[in-house]
Structure 1
Amino acid sequence: MGSIAAHSGISMSRRGFIGGAACGGGLAIVHPFTANAAAGQVHLRVMETTDLHMHIWPYDYYADRPDAAVGLARTATHVAAIRAEARNSLLLDNGDFLQGNPMGDYMAYDRGMLAGDRHPMITAFNTLGFDGATLGNHEFNYGLDFLLNSLAGAKFPLVLSNVVTERGASPLDDTTLLPPYVILDRVLLDGSGEGHPIRIGLIGFTPPQIMKWDRHHLEGRVTVRDIVDCARAYVPRMRAEGADIVIALSHSGIGAPEALEMMENASTALGAVPGIDAILAGHSHRVFPGPDYEGHAGVDVAGGTLQGTPAVMAGFWGSDLGVIDLLLERAGAGWRVAGHEVAIRPIAQRGGAGRAEALVPSDDRVLAVTQADHEATLDYVRRPVGRSDAPLHSYFALVADDPSVQIVNRAQKWYIEQMLEGTPYEDLPVLSAAAPFKAGGRGGPQYYTDVPAGDLAIRNIADLYLYPNTIRAVKVSGAQVREWLERAAGMFNQIAPGAVDQMLLDPDFPSYNFDVIDGLSYTIDLSQPSRYGRDGALLHPGAHRIVDLRHEGDRVKPDDGFVVATNNYRAAGGGDFPGADGDTIIFEGPDTNRDVIVRYIMERGTISPRADGNWRFAPMPGATVLFDSGPGAGAHAGAVPGMSISPAGQGPDGFDRFRIAL
């Protein structure tokens, strides 16, 4: 690739898209665009992977067992099939590929990456012949040196337009961390078999919020620009340099249609930027086209477009391959998009008891080139660090004080109390905020922490705390603590007094924003509407779900002072929690929250992870609520202190349903 840093686009020439089947006896399966293309018409298949999060093998390292629903190795089988169905294809990744499971952590923390080292994900991409990629926000979790060393072995271009090492008067004057765009020179076959030189522009974007989420890695080394501003600046230049079509690799979700300054989810707004012919979206871990986006402004689910521009979002962890089929035809001296189709190809489906059943086998080439890294990761996650004298599970983490969250909070509090000794903050009460990461939802009915009593290995700790966040502490007031908890209480639907069997949980509220704060006791009044919306906006100023908020038995007053142990994501503004916007940080630790938990367990040898019931729901006589949890939840339902939980039949997609009498 040459130098990673660049300030302008580059042009690259690689092989033409001439498949062996097309050159030989014909295609076994032919897409209609290929079958019906005339002379001067070209069918191009654009394939997307996104949010792989280091899932190369179909394996769950946390549970230490195969998982048919994940893995680039399975997605690769779809890639081979799609290449066989048309003469011309392009394979692109849309970011968040270096972090997300223990293999990623093993590479970053145990093995490390020096210049010239081989990273397994890059090796897999090279093996499959990827044509380009951009970076997601999680690429920055391990720091810039690790990132650039990992990318150095890529045999394909990586583009990113809005992360800047030297800022100019406009985006066009910037020096960017990676080339902002690339123009690929290709020879594509038309319907008559004649080859045509076509120039394909790729431009990449990542959420500007990386400067909040990974400030400790990035501050002083890079800055960010707005996604849409960069697109408006660079796309005309790409066209002027001869790009016949432009594809946006947007590691950004499907959000509002109007361009808002520094928006995180900008893919819909990109659809209105002139000169972009197709959008690969991501970041949100959802599927588009799909029902999640029905009724969204600027979104046509049936047509697979964002403000009229063809777009796709291919799930997460390799769950799906996204495909945009473009029919190109000559327009004067250039080419234009004359038609399109958008499709999703899943690698698995839910079968009995909600378990994933593979729809395609793994590609042996991907498994072979990453076998050694897979086995090293297994050794890494199986190392024992201590013992637990009680089970650790998250089946009820969204409805009751929970041992899996409790142990995280205890470890964070233990660490921060030591770090504040001898500082001006040492006499302030230390609280701790943590959320359940594995709590079902889109991850499916098996996506729960479930660690039996006994030895605890690194894989168990990684199971408790999925992300490589680093430890932080913030100083907040009693009023801010209350609002922090009000924001977290948006997890719950409003419950009508006396009503029977209402659904308790808002399925669109992410579990990682359901913070439980240890060191306080409090009650949640479900009869009140949520004070805050899912995005953190104040919705109901007169509503208060958090009642009877106490510290060591005393009511918390608005001007009380506290230190809250948390992580870099939350402390820097992730989730838009009151009291956590980057300005209240008093301590930035060098250690990951995961390492803090490991040290806490190693120091104690044996832990007793029992919830202390510091939060509860306010009584609502006659009212019952329903929630869904994993199939393993039933064995633990009777052990939740202070709560009556009973089975209520089957939920959707393999979940079990439970009832709580309030």
Structure 2
Amino acid sequence: MSSFLELPPISRRSLLSGLGATAALVLLHPFSARAAGNQAHLRLMETTDIHVNVFPYDYYADKPNDTMGLSRTGTIIDSIRAEATNSLLIDNGDVLQGNPMGDYMAYQHGMKDGDVHPVIKAMNTLGYEVGTLGNHEFNYGLDFMFKVLAGANFPFVCANLTKGQLAADPKDDELFFKPYLILEKTIKDGSGKSTPIKIGFIGFVPPQIMLWDIKNLEGKAQTRDIVEAAKAWVPVMKEEGADIIIALSHSGIDGSGPSDKMENASLYVAGVDGIDAIFTGHQHLVFPGPKSWDGIKNADPVKGTLQGKPAVMAGFWGSHLGLIDLLLEKDGNSWKIVDFTSEARPIYHRDDKKKVIADVRDKKEIVAAATTEHEATLAYVRTPVGKTSAPLYSYFALVADDPSVQIVSQAQSWYIKEMLKETKYKDLPVLSAAAPFKCGGRNGADYYTDVPAGDIAIKNVADLYLYPNTVQAVVINGAQVKNWLEMSAAMFNQVQPGAKDADLLNASFPSFNFDVIDGVTYQIDLSQPRRFDDTGKIANADAHRIQNLQFDGKPIDDTQKFVVVSNNYRAGGGGNFPEIAADKVVYVAPDTNRDVIVRYVHDQGTINPTADGNWTFKPMPGTTVLFESAPKAKDFLSEVKTVKIEDAGEGTEGFHKFRLVL
């Protein structure tokens, strides 16, 4: 058995906050405690964006990770059920794809009719009442999806996925799933009396699946606008006697205003008359929660409401359980909501040093259900899935065009060209921005990428791309491309011409902000000061470190439009790059950069990450600079062709010094 089960002792604090393992520790929710004879407390629990993370294990890094895992979420489900008189568990989509276990089951296992997928096995142990679809359910095709979902002990609903062309009236659409489910349940009121209630659930998937999975869905399916579908079906649910209606919206929260076939439409779904509460997902965020939601009108991230109605988004990968607690009151023959609370409860916390502390252990039934597939997945990620024709290393990533960055750019460009080929941006030239992540620095002399030429395994992707970012693309002009690079060039100290062994690297500038843009060529003039300060404001108006910037062999046109593919951090304004922000984003991918690299390796068979030398330093005769890297970097000196690097002797704290001849 792998070490993900080996946890330190759980503290009393953790038990109280997450486990509730004994009756003495269980505290009833105030609604259960105070409900009168004509009132009842109903707790609704949500998982969302599990992405096949059954276990608290990062298959890319090949090590345990206490921030994830349905086996952990399952444990807090038990304690949270115990806090309420009446409770129901739902899932809000994206369960079938997202980590190597999902790929293993789709590509290697060869599921047969009657087989039960490990994530479904795990979910079947927890007693779900209903689920809806996420966009990633379609990544392996419709046949695979239906085969997997057939193993679930609970139904799925989706009101905006059709088998063919959209009908004039949404209620006439030929749907793949029932649009809604009305559960007839018996709940206990405040006096302990059992009484019936009808709870309606309606589900929605992002319409963008028709773009993201066009290969799997073209000619087979179609999607309708989420809000349009809600407005059509909710009145029908009311007519059928639903006392309360819950939206299962695999769609995020966007306050920019409603638009046709909006991807993140949950705020506007909440505004549909008749919907009483809404579960959201897709964005991999937490609601109610902090800063992410500031400034969105009609979204209250403290109380946990959208349009005044209770709402929750429960993180991702099992990191949280979403809770909506309703105090219901009998109104004649039906029920109405008289009070509510919303919460996203985590499975872990961080101590003062930001170290992750697990709050719960694994639920043994889930571990038992999927251990066979977990062990098979470990073997899978440790098995070669392609080859690299050259070594992938980052020892010189801050001083020369680098193979570990090159392969990320190649994968990103390959992906975005496919994604945009049917859009209005299809004819724009594509550039790719990528940065080195593992470059020593504060993380020490062992903190470098080093994958030898030859076989490459899925877990090696963690060496190439450390973070679970998602792919995003912006459209900007040539002048903005240059400013992007000017900001990136703050990686370096200013160097006086003729200096001998000057210190090259700006220690305060993080390597993940040193973007290299592939698709253009350029030089960096170290004799000039940085143009922008850390906030992206001009510090030296006359400074232009970026020289000889060319596209297609000619000086770049400041007005020409480009698609630049990067990640959600950079495209959303991370790093304070001038004019690069969410208003420039034209494509938000459903896929992580890691997954894109894996797909690229699968597609190519053998990757060629040899750096193409599209950037270098402007020559400064008689000038040398020093930088540090790992001692092992000496073995790769002959691999670097675009600059002259010399061994400069032993460095400090395990590093080695190198000299760059400018």
When normalised by structure 1's length, the TM-score is 0.69
Does residue 170 (structure 1) correspond to residue 169 (structure 2)? The answer is yes
- Residue in 2 aligned with 1:149? 147
Distance in 2 separating the partners of 1:277 and 1:201 = 10
- Residue in 2 aligned with 1:614? 615
Q: 1:486 to 1:332 in 2, by over 3 A?
A: farther
- Residue in 1 aligned with 2:598? 594
Q: 1:237 to 1:437 in 2, by over 3 A?
A: farther
Distance in 1 separating the partners of 2:448 and 2:313 = 31
Q: 1:480 to 1:432 in 2, by over 3 A?
A: closer
**CA drift at 1:436:** 5.3
Q: Which of residues 39, 45, 48 in structure 1 aligns to 2:46?
A: 48
Distance in 1 separating the partners of 2:416 and 2:228 = 40
Please say which structure displays the higher CA radius of gyration: 2
Does residue 212 (structure 1) correspond to residue 211 (structure 2)? The answer is yes
Q: 1:260 to 1:488 in 2, by over 3 A?
A: farther
Distance in 2 separating the partners of 1:232 and 1:174 = 14
User: Does structure 2 retain, via aligned residues, the 8 Å contact 1:493–1:526?
Assistant: no
Distance in 2 separating the partners of 1:246 and 1:416 = 39
Aligned-pair Cα RMSD in Å:
5.2
Q: 1:603 to 1:220 in 2, by over 3 A?
A: closer
Count how many residue pairs are aligned between Structure 1 and Structure 2: 543
User: Does structure 2 retain, via aligned residues, the 8 Å contact 1:27–1:86?
Assistant: no
- Residue in 2 aligned with 1:60? 58
Secondary structure in structure 2 of the residue aligned to 1:295: coil
**CA drift at 1:234:** 0.8
Paired letter, 1:405: V
Secondary structure in structure 2 of the residue aligned to 1:247: strand
When normalised by structure 2's length, the TM-score is 0.69
Q: Give unmatched runs, 5+ long, in structure 1.
A: 1-24, 420-428, 532-543, 568-574, 583-590, 618-632, 643-662
Q: 1:143 to 1:523 in 2, by over 3 A?
A: farther
Q: 1:581 to 1:50 in 2, by over 3 A?
A: closer
- Residue in 2 aligned with 1:269? 268
**CA drift at 1:599:** 6.7
Paired letter, 2:331: A
- Residue in 1 aligned with 2:73? 75
Secondary structure in structure 1 of the residue aligned to 2:125: helix
Paired letter, 2:151: G
Distance in 2 separating the partners of 1:492 and 1:286 = 28
User: Does structure 2 retain, via aligned residues, the 8 Å contact 1:49–1:321?
Assistant: yes
Distance in 2 separating the partners of 1:484 and 1:378 = 47
Equivalent positions of 1:109-148 (< 5 A) are 109-148=107-146
- Residue in 2 aligned with 1:334? 334
Distance in 2 separating the partners of 1:355 and 1:104 = 28
Q: 1:63 to 1:205 in 2, by over 3 A?
A: same
User: Does structure 2 retain, via aligned residues, the 8 Å contact 1:433–1:564?
Assistant: yes
User: Does structure 2 retain, via aligned residues, the 8 Å contact 1:528–1:545?
Assistant: no
User: Does structure 1 retain, via aligned residues, the 8 Å contact 2:478–2:560?
Assistant: no
Secondary structure in structure 2 of the residue aligned to 1:260: coil
Paired letter, 2:321: L
- Residue in 2 aligned with 1:350? 350
Q: 1:330 to 1:112 in 2, by over 3 A?
A: same
Paired letter, 1:459: I
**CA drift at 1:128:** 0.9
- Residue in 2 aligned with 1:296? 296
- The percentage of counterpart residues that share the same residue type is 45
Distance in 2 separating the partners of 1:276 and 1:126 = 28
Q: 1:27 to 1:407 in 2, by over 3 A?
A: closer
User: Does structure 1 retain, via aligned residues, the 8 Å contact 2:477–2:562?
Assistant: no
Q: 1:547 to 1:206 in 2, by over 3 A?
A: farther
Distance in 1 separating the partners of 2:532 and 2:154 = 55
Per-residue deviation, residues 146-168 of structure 1 (Å, max 9, x unmatched): 11111111111111111111321
Distance in 1 separating the partners of 2:285 and 2:412 = 31
Distance in 2 separating the partners of 1:63 and 1:487 = 35
- Residue in 2 aligned with 1:287? 286
Paired letter, 2:73: T
Distance in 2 separating the partners of 1:201 and 1:396 = 55
Q: 1:158 to 1:554 in 2, by over 3 A?
A: same
Distance in 2 separating the partners of 1:562 and 1:280 = 37
- Residue in 2 aligned with 1:311? 311
Distance in 2 separating the partners of 1:416 and 1:269 = 29
**CA drift at 1:390:** 5.1
Q: 1:169 to 1:78 in 2, by over 3 A?
A: same
User: Does structure 2 retain, via aligned residues, the 8 Å contact 1:40–1:330?
Assistant: yes
**CA drift at 1:480:** 7.9
User: Does structure 2 retain, via aligned residues, the 8 Å contact 1:102–1:377?
Assistant: yes
**CA drift at 1:408:** 3.8
**CA drift at 1:54:** 1.2
Q: Give unmatched runs, 5+ long, in structure 2.
A: 1-22, 419-426, 495-505, 525-529, 537-543, 568-581, 590-594, 619-628, 644-662
Q: Which of residues 30, 33, 47 in structure 1 aligns to 2:31?
A: 33
Q: 1:222 to 1:487 in 2, by over 3 A?
A: farther
- Residue in 2 aligned with 1:376? 376
User: Does structure 2 retain, via aligned residues, the 8 Å contact 1:432–1:566?
Assistant: no
Q: 1:610 to 1:331 in 2, by over 3 A?
A: same
Paired letter, 2:132: T
- Residue in 2 aligned with 1:426? none
Distance in 2 separating the partners of 1:258 and 1:296 = 10
- Residue in 2 aligned with 1:179? 178
Secondary structure in structure 2 of the residue aligned to 1:175: coil
Per-residue deviation, residues 322-351 of structure 1 (Å, max 9, x unmatched): 111111111122101111011121111234
Secondary structure in structure 2 of the residue aligned to 1:284: coil
Distance in 2 separating the partners of 1:387 and 1:153 = 38
- Residue in 1 aligned with 2:457? 458
Per-residue deviation, residues 386-417 of structure 1 (Å, max 9, x unmatched): 468755469989x9965433124457889999
Secondary structure in structure 2 of the residue aligned to 1:176: coil
User: Does structure 2 retain, via aligned residues, the 8 Å contact 1:56–1:71?
Assistant: yes
Secondary structure in structure 1 of the residue aligned to 2:163: strand
Does residue 90 (structure 1) correspond to residue 91 (structure 2)? The answer is no
**CA drift at 1:366:** 0.7
Does residue 404 (structure 1) correspond to residue 408 (structure 2)? The answer is no
Q: 1:212 to 1:548 in 2, by over 3 A?
A: farther
Distance in 1 separating the partners of 2:483 and 2:122 = 39
Distance in 2 separating the partners of 1:126 and 1:82 = 18
Q: 1:282 to 1:636 in 2, by over 3 A?
A: farther
